[in-house]
Structure 1
Amino acid sequence: MGISILFADGVFSRLLEGLLVSAEISLISALFSLVFGVIFGLFMTIDFWLTKLISRIYLEFVRIMPQLVLLFIMYFGVSSWLGLDISAFLSSVIVFTFWGTAEMGDLVRSALINTPKHQYESAFALGLNKTQTYAYIIIPQTIKNLTPLSINLITRIIKTTSLVALIGVVEVLKVAEQIIDSTRFSHPNGALWVYGAVFMMYFVLCFTTSLCSKFFEER
């Protein structure tokens, strides 16, 4: 039966190793996106024409350009243009951070401008300056309110990491293709079970991330 391919020597362990690569790219990209996203969100709230123009161009570029094209530009274009030996793994992290920062920044901007005015007024009445108001009052509330949306962004990053196989990163989907190619004669019906296992791995990873969202929201 086709399912026997999953119990062949080393198949499942190889899939887990590939999943670990996907998770590593997602985790690093998500952490950088959250940090830079908060900074970019604050940058977007600056009431100055030049900052608004830069923010708009950045957001529109990220939203219009598919992630796969960004990966190709980064790995095949920018690295060659700059004469740098940028690995496929690092290119993936840079692209997903670049994309995630824009998405997170827009969420932060929206949360900041929708914060009730009395929060600012109360902070100023207590003698806090603008920096202290943001550091101690506004940003903590913003992060709390953004927890569900942040987790949603992280799950999107996890799912989108499947694209990195196209620039040579040996993540879980690439490993699955290698296994199917090497066992096409011994397990001709194995593709369904291998991709089914990949589906379950992605499901478990994203579902666990969603459960973490509930945990953080309660606290």
Structure 2
Amino acid sequence: MRNSGIEVLFEGRNFLRLLEGLWVTASIALAAMAISVVLGVLLGIVMTSRNRFVRACTRLYLEFVRVVPQLVLLFVVYFSLASQAGVNLGGRTAAVIVFSVWGTAEMGDLVRGAIRSTPSHQVYSGLALGMTSAQVYRYVVLPQTIRRLLPVTINLANRMIQTTTLVVLIGVVEVLKTGQQIIDANRFAHPTAALWVYAVIFLMYFAICYLISLLSKRLERKWQS
């Protein structure tokens, strides 16, 4: 492998820098996902409301988030809203805010669909047995909703991790930006380093998403047994 470019990964702290960049990526995704799950569950319940005005407002929010690209939201929050409000907003904070807004909308729609998929006769049976609406939600609807949500929530988490690559455009030094810095710093000494650096970044993303998928399958088997 002499002069192949792979040796750049083992020079100095280059590989450790990639791992540090990966942690930045993962921390943004984890924070945004945690917020999205909590707020998304609440939003999904609200989206099943019988009030037409409430449903219209939540639907408008969902469609707005889906239509506007995440990159545009990043630019708006980081460059426009922060300066207009006079707030010194860091790139990582802006990224967590934007991905939480997006993730909450997606999670809310998933929760709404999972709740709606609960057979109506089970709800009516619970009410006929003397349970209140809150008890039906707690003991009948939500347990089934959680089981249905697991695979799609894991898929959303993977999408969240992949989408974090956009934060490089607002100056966040995550794994992709770190890789670009390593390539630029060794452009003349190792002109073919880009292939190996990007290959390692690809493997890092693949490893994280694959491990999350394995965890999802294990939980599904455990709950179905």
Q: Which amino acid aligns with 1:184?
A: R
Question: What is the distance in 2 between the residues matched to 1:131 and 1:81?
Answer: 43
The answer to whether residue 148 in structure 2 is matched with residue 145 in structure 1 is yes
Counterpart check, 1:161 vs 2:164? yes
| Displacement after TM superposition at 1:49 (Å) | 2.0
Whether 1:183 and 2:186 are equivalent positions in the alignment is yes
TM-score normalized by structure 1?
Answer: 0.97
User: 3-state SS of the aligned residue for 2:26?
Assistant: helix
Counterpart for residue 88 of structure 1: 91
Q: Greater shift after overlay, 90-99 or 120-129?
A: 120-129
Report % sequence identity.
Answer: 52
Cα deviation per residue 1:83-116 (whole Å; 9 max; x = unaligned)?
Answer: 1111111111111110011111111111111210
Aligned to 1:41: 44
Q: Supply the distance in 2 between the matched residues of 1:91 and 1:135 (Cα, whole angstroms).
A: 35
- Normalised by the length of structure 2, the TM-score is 0.95
Shift of 1:79: 1.0
**Distance in 2, Cα, partners of 1:108 & 1:201:** 30
**Partner residue of 1:59 out of 50, 59, 62:** 62
Query: Could you tell me how far 1:213 is from its partner in structure 2?
Result: 0.6
- Any idea what SS the aligned residue of 2:188 has? coil
The CA deviation at 1:77 is: 1.1
Instruction: Report whether the alignment pairs 1:9 with 2:4.
Output: no
User: What are the equivalent positions in structure 2 for 1:102-117 lying under 5 Å apart?
Assistant: 102-117=105-120
Q: Which blocks of at least 5 consecutive residues in structure 1 are unaligned?
A: none
Shift of the alpha carbon at 1:136? 2.1
* C-alpha deviation, 1:173, in angstroms: 0.4
- In the TM superposition, residue 128 of structure 1 has moved relative to its aligned partner by 1.6
Distance in 1 between the 2:138 and 2:84 partners?
Answer: 40
**Could you tell me how far 1:123 is from its partner in structure 2?**
1.7
Output the amino acid matched with 2:116.
Answer: I
User: Per-residue CA shift, 1:1-42, capped at 9, x if unaligned?
Assistant: 211111111111000000001011111111111111111011
Alignment-mate amino acid for residue 215 of structure 2: C
Q: Does 1:196 align with 2:173?
A: no
User: Which residue among 74, 77, 86 is the counterpart of 2:77?
Assistant: 74
AA at the equivalent of 1:177: Q
Report the Cα offset of residue 125 of structure 1. Answer: 2.5
Q: Does residue 211 of structure 1 match 2:214? A: yes
Q: Which amino acid aligns with 2:10?
A: F
User: What is the deviation of 1:126?
Assistant: 2.7
Of stretches 64-73 and 50-59 in structure 1, the one that deviates more from structure 2 is 50-59
The alignment's C-alpha RMSD in Å is 1.0
2:24 to 3, 12, 21: 21
1:36-65 deviation per Cα after TM superposition (whole angstroms, max 9, x unaligned): 111101111112121122112111111111
Shift of 1:72: 0.6
2:59 and 2:80 map into 1 onto residues whose CA distance is 24
Q: Distance in 2 between matches of 1:74 and 1:139?
A: 34
In the alignment, the residues of structure 2 paired with residue 24 and residue 37 of structure 1 have an alpha-carbon distance, to the nearest angstrom, of 19
Cα distance in structure 2, aligned partners of 1:93 and 1:168: 14
Question: 2:124 aligned with 1:121, yes or no?
Answer: yes
Deviations 1:125-152 (A, max 9, x none): 2322111211222112101111000000
Q: What letter is aligned with 2:165?
A: S
Q: Partner amino acid for 1:140? A: P
Aligned match of 1:30: 33
d(CA) in 2 for partners of 1:127 and 1:150? 33
